Chains A and B, each alone.
Chain A
């Protein structure tokens, strides 16, 4: 069951990566495309909490860093998505974990996650001297990315949440009975 969960999570990341790089390029707005990998990490963290979120964030980030068209310093997207996965997971645990998040709160979470993720990536680039772009351009990209991520949310997150929840029901059931016993 554990191996299956990991495989499905990896599959989600791979599909997100392929769609993001090969398909969404055709609908890019000023070169920016919805960051599907980030949405998958947000979805997984919302259901499974900070540890799984951070772990999947690392995997998705490394995939983004190493998959072909990428040419930036590897590890930058990994860093950004680990932070995103952890923070989103923390937000979920700060709320009550068993209540399903409302659509509005999911959209807000995605907006915050997108802002934090792209910003961490941009800041790491500034520190490492990786891109030679102006601050104005960086901010524009961060805002456009935020808008596109929010636009993509209704199409992507329900699927991600459904898939991760479905795999999660077994575990949840086990945990709930445990809680009742204690």
Chain B
């Protein structure tokens, strides 16, 4: 009974032998040190305005211009898929646009008077409220990956262009987000899709107010959740939601369209009504955006005044 003493010994030796092949075993101390350094960094970043924020600024100053350069290099190539479209698909687009155009023209013809009166009133109140704002144009030069579970982008306008934190960022279609932090040449924008973004919204048709939260959603297009303050009001599907606006226009200026109500559901447990909002902005192909700065801000580039003139 001496043969099967330890059937595992051979395998054990082989494993050890393989380890020894590579000389000394790797130092655990380095791993522990690095893990502690990570823990340290995480702890330091828990406080706002800590040393990590300074680190972010230094890295941002260095990497920002490089990102602008890289994005500029690639920009000509991003249009390539547009060239490869078939004639029939273009024709379909034209037909759809013509149909939409005539529908819109009809609407405009019937509601022109109301609209004009509303615009006059709106213009008056806005002028009285905040004195209007100016748009600084900027381009998106970097997008945060979804792996980081946050939706942020970098734009190529920074302090030199007159951009400071807590400014509203919009594009042709509606609200994009707000500026989180800036360097001299770039700014980081928190998109409204980010799970940590909360925007005060107003349902256009009923004037009810609520809070829009991003879901960080990854399903097609992405959705926002509208949480109405008054639980008895039911927004209709298709209603438009605009920003409610903050005091002094920071972080969000008033009256920027955000999206359209797509679905409404209620939660009996929380006795609240929620609506799903489809944003007007296509966040997957964000490029040219505008940052709303107070009018009269000095900028390193041409800015769009509230009355449409370029300065």
The answer to whether A binds B is yes
Q: Which residues of A pack against B, CB within 8 Å?
A: 14, 17-23, 25-26, 28, 30-33, 35, 49-51, 54-55, 57-58, 61-79, 82, 86, 89-90, 93-97, 118, 121-122, 124-125, 128, 130-133, 137-138, 140-141, 144-145, 175, 179
Q: Which residues of B contact A144 (CB under 8 A)?
A: 146, 218
B40 at the interface (CB under 8 A from A): yes
| Contact with B188, one of A68, A86, A97 (Cβ below 8 angstroms) | A68
**How far is A125 from B153 in the complex, measured between Cα atoms in Å?**
20
Within the complex, the shortest CB–CB distance from B63 to chain A, in Å, comes to 5
B5 at the interface (CB under 8 A from A): no
- 0/1 per residue, B146-183, Cβ < 8 Å to A? 11111111100000000000000000000000001001
Determine whether the beta carbon of B149 is less than 8 Å from that of A32: no
Determine whether the beta carbon of A25 is less than 8 Å from that of B143: yes
Interface residues of B in 99-115 (CB under 8 A from A): none
| Contact with B63, one of A17, A51, A57, A175 (Cβ below 8 angstroms) | A17
**How far is A79 from B36 in the complex, measured between Cα atoms in Å?**
9
B30 at the interface (CB under 8 A from A): yes
Within the complex, the shortest CB–CB distance from B165 to chain A, in Å, comes to 12
| Contact with B142, one of A63, A68, A125, A131 (Cβ below 8 angstroms) | A68
Determine whether the beta carbon of B154 is less than 8 Å from that of A69: yes
28 pairs of residues in contact across A and B, judged by CB atoms under 8 Å: A22-B70, A23-B70, A23-B71, A25-B143, A28-B145, A30-B146, A30-B220, A49-B22, A50-B31, A65-B41, A68-B59, A69-B142, A70-B56, A70-B150, A74-B56, A77-B148, A78-B38, A79-B38, A79-B42, A93-B22, A122-B149, A131-B195, A131-B196, A133-B215, A133-B216, A137-B217, A141-B218, A179-B23
Q: Which residues of A contact B141 (CB under 8 A)?
A: 22
Within the complex, the shortest CB–CB distance from B25 to chain A, in Å, comes to 8
Q: How large is the interface on B (under 10, 10 to 19, 20 to 34, 35 or more residues)?
A: 35 or more
**How far is A133 from B147 in the complex, measured between Cα atoms in Å?**
12
**How far is A51 from B27 in the complex, measured between Cα atoms in Å?**
7
Given contacts A63-B59, A67-B59, A69-B188, contact A21 B144 (CB under 8 A): yes
Interface residues of B in 194-246 (CB under 8 A from A): 194-196, 215-220
Determine whether the beta carbon of A72 is less than 8 Å from that of B37: no
Determine whether the beta carbon of A54 is less than 8 Å from that of B146: no
Q: Which residues of A contact B60 (CB under 8 A)?
A: 66-68
Residue of A nearest to B214 (CB): A132
Q: Which residues of B pack against A, CB within 8 Å?
A: 15, 18-19, 21-23, 26-27, 30-31, 34-35, 37-42, 44-46, 52, 55-56, 59-60, 63-64, 66-67, 70-71, 74, 78, 140-154, 180, 183, 186, 188, 190, 194-196, 215-220, 284
Determine whether the beta carbon of B45 is less than 8 Å from that of A73: yes
Determine whether the beta carbon of B147 is less than 8 Å from that of A145: yes
**How far is A153 from B38 in the complex, measured between Cα atoms in Å?**
27
